[in-house]
Structure 1
Amino acid sequence: MPRNSRPGPPPRVSVIVPARDAMPGITRAVTSVMEQTIGLSRLDIVAVDGGSADGTAAELDRLAAGCPSLRVVHQESPRVPGGPGSPGGLGGLRNTGLGLARGDFVFFLDADAHLAPDALRRMVAMADQNGTDVVLGKMVSPDGRGVPKAVFRHNQLRTDVHSSHAYATLEPCKLFRRALVERLRLRFPAHLRHGEGKPFTAASYLNASGISVVADYDCYHLGRSPGPGRTALGVADRVDAMRPLFETAARHTRPGPRRDAVMRHHIRRELCPALRALPREDETEARERFFPELRRWARAHCSDALFATLPASERLMVHLLRTGRFDDLLSVVRDAERDARRGHLVEKGSVYWLHPFFRDPDADVPDACFDVTDRLPVRHHLAGAGWHGGSTLRVRGRAAIEGLPADPEEDRAELVLRRREARDELRIPVVATAEHDPSEFEADIDIATADGGAPLRPGVWDVFLDVRAQGISRTVRFGNRHDDGLDIGTARRVVAAGPGLRARVTPYFTSPYRNLSLDIGPAPRGAPCEVTEAVWHPSDKGTLVVAGRLLPPGTPARGRLLRLRAEHTDGRVHDQPVRFAAGHPAGAFTARLPVRDLSRGRWTVTLAVIAPDDPGPGRAAPAAPVPPPARLPGARWVRRGRPYYAKPLTGRGEVTLELRVAPVRLLAAVRNRLRSW
């Protein structure tokens, strides 16, 4: 019977902690749940001990004695085939916890992991606000062990397995809505020793009303890796773990592209690694026991459309598997490392991998198994982006198709601009800049004439590279690989885009993939000036210093009344005077904005011309944006004994500097400081 069973209203989260010989980590795991900011009154902690012999059971009882929210269950460890006394995985223990769960959500916490203090509150809030059934909290590892990264690049309020990288993480350390679990009658395969959580998570993903991702907070801290003593999984364990995954994917998807996307994951992550492990097994057992079952799965679940999307090496293995060629498959696997280094044949616009089986009459393998035309990697690098002349943005970089040397006379790369939410595409030739290295190039984007002699139309233009070699063309997104410290924010400018026409050009790196894009928009009408610098005052805390010059260049300062303006989202305006440099011919000026005096909230910073008869800030006036500097840090100060901060909002292609002003949350600051130690 569980200890500390208690009546009362249902809690928000049931945290299930399966444990078997889990000392000393179990103490930290359970304590991390007790210390959650969501509050113990909203938690239901169910720890299930599976017959531990190292003191885990006694430690759980000790913790439960001082925590009414913790229930402890002691049960014998399940046994599985594979030898006398072979313990099963943790599935049976998790199932016991699920049977006792009372919360709106369930969370599965491994005994060697722990939760960050605010993890459950954030995940529950994400689920409540977006009506989602599964929430992923960012995972981190203390020793560099591989954890999913792509799915945690940014917060995702509502997504699914087909629009995100969520399916790449199938471990059950997630927040699940219990109504979904019970509707699907989901339980863990108790007989499995490895991967027992993956079918549960896969079924939840594929039936969820939506999936949310908390990526801006380190929610789940993995335990330390077992180290070099770990042994690689054998094919028997791989096959046992794989079987329920293929069954789950087939049961919860319909034939077509979406099923193919899910099956592709399992073929690449589970099936192909099992094929690579076959030579390590007893050959008779591999041939008679494992090979037939793997072949059945490949024939049943690898459609022709899916097959065409696999890398060539895996395409070859799956083809030999589907056609029942055991000996050839083992030969390919054994020689894989050597054969991967073989060259390519370019023929009639296609590129083929020169594997020994390629066009070998005795091997009889279709050319399609060796076609790598669309898979040749492109090496590319952005070296810089800056203005060359009045309206021309010069982009410099390097690009080449790996393994295919380009002919400088024949192969001409192009910069490709594509306007979002439109079918506009513009091609701009690149010019080689180094005789010894044909991959180095530069390209000039003339904002005033790039569109067939006309200015670039307003909108966001994404930058691609069309790289060519030996008649092969590969188009890739450009910019995510660039020089360390490259500051494209310095290329933000208002330019002349034609007679009487001015455009605002904002180069920026997209989030989260950091590719290069250009935001083209009309310049503010009547913009009186441009900003050349915005920095925090070195000694006057909380004061922003803005420098610039009048427009057009050479405009005298006489008779011009200029103000540095901060405008709150509720309409409140705070103006500061601008000081002109005495006798400066270009109308240079500086202004100071005491951000420390602004109330909490979001403030937009501009420069505005004030009419001479306007004593206050309320009248509309022409304004110039104060662009967000690429590296403007936050600022902190103390007001009436309480610390405040101002944080610039940047990174999404903003045109005008926005500052968020708010008091520092002391508890969060202390936690961040402790984490940094």
Structure 2
Amino acid sequence: MNGIRVSVVTPVYNAAGYLREGLESVQRQSFGRENIEHIIVDDGSTDGSDEVLRQWVREHPDNTRLIHQEASGSPGSPRNRGLAEARGEYVFFLDADDWLGDESIERLVAAAENHQTDVVMGKIVGANGRADKKQAFLKHLPRTTVFDSYAFWSVGPWKLFRTDLLREHDLRFPTGMLFGEDSVFVTRAFLHAESISILNDYDYMYLRRRDDGGNVTALGRRDAAAAAYQWINTVEQTCAAIREFNLSPRREGYLFKRLFHLQCKSAIHHMGRVKDRERQAELHAQIRGLFEKWGTPATVRELKPAAQVLYAALPTASCEEIVRLKDEFDTVELTGRSDGLFAAHPDWTEPDFERWAVEVGALYPLRAGITVDERLGDYRHLQGRLTFAHVPKDRVSAVLRCELRGTDTVLAFPVDQSDAKFSVDVPLRELAAAQQRIRRGWDLYLEVTFGDYTTKDLLRLDLSSHTRSRLRRLTDRLRR
């Protein structure tokens, strides 16, 4: 088995009825069987997987190896064993019940070599009712980083890793975790990688939902409390792994955000299904402690409005109330009131609003900037973009507010707005008329109203010397 380029590592535990698609997909790779070794680690299966695998190796002895070990109770152990045995320049982790597109390995390796990236992830398709992994693959990014993409929204192990990266940093899957070990491993790999590739030009991986409930993340159907604990532990271990890298608060908060939006919310979901009230209370306390420990100010700034409500309620809400807020997660939206901008459920009564709504004006400020600035006769034509996070742009109105410095003089001009873009023609004659007795400058703001909430942002606009001269001439003419 000379010239091995890629080692495909497959951990197997009681997957006899689901093996064939994955095994065959490795042999069909357009990259060439002679360039691939398939390392299969049987983690003490008891359902006949061993017999299926032995027969497969007899049929494909040239590029397939089978390793047996006692049941470890965790996918991390067999993956580590396969990684230790890998001889390829790259390693790809393929679970026993999933399979590859026929051109996947060839395309993944080409991306790694053409763009000199350390981790390559290809578009993932769900099979048999399993959801697609869409968020991470919205954009085709041949060379990027975890901070410039949605890579962290897919922390499963189904990726191509440069073997030297894994061995240089002694990267291993944590053992003893029923699931979530891939989150810790992939997070460390992302953060050690100089760059990564995200490919959405082909269906690279097919993830299957097993009919027998054998997916490890299906634990919640059998034991809600155990599933909740595993999700809590996943968040804890992944946050700790991120903290090892001493990132800036902003970068750390960006990564923590995903863990609280998805994984910690999963823990709350399973907590709500626990019947034992004492055990439920223990889980509630653990989730509360998790956010107290890792919910940094930078993390809070990154959270969506619904998550702002959910985690702000943790210290005082009961288990039932937290579950209710989790169930209402997708219907929470921003509401503009005279006393501020709030994240809230639109159907809440006033008592609910008083207790659960979170004021988020400081977290989601209006930001406006000029993209076009030109003089058209006696008008200044401005175009720009506004950013008002999580606020529906079709429900806001805007004006250009001109404030004469050091005075109470304010002029307002209508703004044409389309989605996040705006334009306005500023009549220089009106500005000149308003300042004819005062030689002071103007501050220009974009003022936006959403419901009963109004806010503004200063436009960083330097009136050109030509425009200032024009204003002075107009002012002098008006004085005469």
TM-score (norm 1): 0.51
Give the corresponding residue for 1:148.
Answer: 133
CA deviations over 1:537-562 (Å, ceiling 9, x no partner): xxxxxxxxxxxxxxxxxxxxxxxxxx
Q: Is this contact kept in 2: 1:46–1:101, CA < 8 A? A: yes
Give the corresponding residue for 1:71.
Answer: 65
Say yes or no: does 1:285 pair with 2:273.
no
Say yes or no: does 1:350 pair with 2:341.
yes
Say yes or no: does 1:113 pair with 2:109.
no
In structure 2, what is the Cα distance between the partners aligned to 1:33 and 1:26? Answer: 11
Say yes or no: does 1:308 pair with 2:298.
no
Say yes or no: does 1:167 pair with 2:169.
no
Q: How does 1:592-603 map to 2 (within 5 A)?
A: none
In structure 1, what is the Cα distance between the partners aligned to 2:395 and 2:25? Answer: 56
Q: Is this contact kept in 2: 1:415–1:466, CA < 8 A? A: no
CA distance 1:338–1:293, change in 2 (3 Å)? closer
Give the corresponding residue for 1:48.
Answer: 41
CA deviations over 1:594-649 (Å, ceiling 9, x no partner): xxxxxxxxxxxxxxxxxxxxxxxxxxxxxxxxxxxxxxxxxxxxxxxxxxxxxxxx
Q: Is this contact kept in 2: 1:317–1:329, CA < 8 A? A: no
Amino acid of the residue matched to residue 147 of structure 1? D
- Say what the alpha-carbon RMSD is for the aligned residues: 3.8
Give the corresponding residue for 1:183.
Answer: 168
Shift of 1:359: 7.6
CA distance 1:311–1:406, change in 2 (3 Å)? closer
Specify which of 194, 197, 200 is matched with residue 209 of structure 1: 194
Specify which of 203, 207, 223 is matched with residue 222 of structure 1: 207
CA deviations over 1:228-249 (Å, ceiling 9, x no partner): 9954453222223333212112
Shift of 1:472: 4.8
In structure 2, what is the Cα distance between the partners aligned to 1:213 and 1:332? Answer: 36
Larger Rg: 1
Shift of 1:89: 2.9
CA deviations over 1:382-415 (Å, ceiling 9, x no partner): xxxxxxxxxxxxxxxxxxx769978999996623
Q: How does 1:247-266 map to 2 (within 5 A)?
A: 247-266=240-259
Give the corresponding residue for 1:139.
Answer: 124
CA deviations over 1:566-593 (Å, ceiling 9, x no partner): xxxxxxxxxxxxxxxxxxxxxxxxxxxx
Flag the structure with more relative contact order, 1 or 2, with Cα contacts below 8 A and sequence separation at least 6. Answer: 2
Specify which of 419, 422, 427 is matched with residue 423 of structure 2: 427
In structure 1, what is the Cα distance between the partners aligned to 2:326 and 2:259? Answer: 21
Shift of 1:338: 7.0
CA deviations over 1:300-352 (Å, ceiling 9, x no partner): 3212232133234422332343xx43x54643433665796799461156356
Say yes or no: does 1:20 pair with 2:5.
no
SS in 1 for 2:108: helix
Give the corresponding residue for 2:238.
Answer: 245
Amino acid of the residue matched to residue 416 of structure 2? E
Shift of 1:473: 7.1
Give the corresponding residue for 1:267.
Answer: 260
SS in 1 for 2:190: helix
CA distance 1:329–1:307, change in 2 (3 Å)? farther
In structure 2, what is the Cα distance between the partners aligned to 1:158 and 1:188? Answer: 25
Specify which of 411, 414, 417 is matched with residue 415 of structure 1: 417
The structure with the largest helix share of the pair is 2
SS in 1 for 2:180: coil
Specify which of 327, 349, 360 is matched with residue 371 of structure 1: 360
Q: How does 1:507-656 map to 2 (within 5 A)?
A: none
In structure 1, what is the Cα distance between the partners aligned to 2:254 and 2:333? Answer: 30
Unmatched runs of 5 consecutive residues or more in structure 2 = 366-390, 400-411, 426-445, 457-480
In structure 1, what is the Cα distance between the partners aligned to 2:249 and 2:200? Answer: 31
SS in 1 for 2:181: coil
* Count of aligned pairs: 386
SS in 2 for 1:36: coil
Shift of 1:128: 1.0
Identity %: 24
CA distance 1:147–1:413, change in 2 (3 Å)? farther
Give the corresponding residue for 1:100.
Answer: 85
Q: Is this contact kept in 1: 2:126–2:133, CA < 8 A? A: no
Q: Is this contact kept in 1: 2:447–2:454, CA < 8 A? A: yes
CA distance 1:359–1:208, change in 2 (3 Å)? same
Amino acid of the residue matched to residue 207 of structure 1? H
Q: Is this contact kept in 2: 1:89–1:194, CA < 8 A? A: yes
SS in 1 for 2:23: helix
In structure 2, what is the Cα distance between the partners aligned to 1:186 and 1:356? Answer: 52
